[in-house]
Structure 1
Amino acid sequence: MTEKTRPRDAAKAFTPALADFVDDPLFAKVWERVGLSKRDRSLITVAALVVMYRPEELGAHLRRAVENGVSKGELSEAITHLAFYGGYPAAISASAIAHDVLGALEG
């Protein structure tokens, strides 16, 4: 699996039905519900992935969070905050992934 390959894409060849379940209902229905903005859903998803230590999924969701309006500064603050709830090792790993995916935090 390359750095830019999404885990779902890499797994699709072996578990195509599982990939379909991710596309629909998750992305087609859950992410489209009006109860939360996509920005808020992204921030919640990143937080869950950080504290559950899911590095394989985190990079793609960090990129999606930025696309959905979460700033790099907000992601930095969220990861720092989560160190107290999900543990320092998970937060340090998330920080390294964020740097690899999004680059250094400016200013």
Structure 2
Amino acid sequence: MTATPGRNSIGDITPKLAELTDDVLYADVWERPQLSKRDRSLATVAALVALYRADELDLHLGLALDNGVTAEELIETITHLAFYTGWPCAVTAAKQLRAILDGRDS
């Protein structure tokens, strides 16, 4: 079986969920032309911050950077969201972004 994000992450414990993640979410939804991958990344990061989904946020902060969202845009998004989602959500996201940016600088 081909190594894919879903299969690498959860394929050993939930093969069907991994398959749906790879084949529906990433191969279909993320490829729809109505939104760019950059815009999808920004929307996904905002949703994950708002829902306090720190486990998934690391992956999507990195993906957002790969998809053309700048560090400055992510910082501003997190700051903006603090007023709508709560300080703990934003502070957690800011710390995760710092770690990701530090890892990319080294």
1:62 has 2:61 as partner: yes
Structure 2: which 5+ runs fail to align? Answer: none
Residue type at the aligned position of 2:62 = R
Residue in 1 that maps onto 2:94: 95
CA-atom RMSD in angstroms: 1.7
2:73 aligns to what SS in structure 1?
helix
Structure 1: which 5+ runs fail to align? Answer: 1-5
1:9 has 2:13 as partner: no
Residue type at the aligned position of 1:12 = G
Identity of aligned residues (%): 53
Residue in 1 that maps onto 2:47: 48
Which structure features the higher share of helix residues?
Answer: 2
TM-score of the aligned structures, taking structure 1 as reference length: 0.86
- Give me the whole-angstrom Cα distance separating, in 2, the residues matched to 1:48 and 1:21: 20
TM-score of the aligned structures, taking structure 2 as reference length: 0.87
Instruction: Judge conservation of contact 1:7–1:57 (CA < 8 Å) in 2.
Output: no
Instruction: Judge conservation of contact 1:43–1:70 (CA < 8 Å) in 2.
Output: yes
1:37 has 2:55 as partner: no
Change (3 A) 1:100 1:18: same
Greater relative contact order, per chain length (Cα 8 Å cut-off, separation 6+): 1
1:103 positional shift: 2.4
1:9 positional shift: 3.1
Residue type at the aligned position of 2:8 = D
Aligned length: 99
Moved over 4 A (4+): none
1:77 positional shift: 0.1
Residue in 2 that maps onto 1:3: none
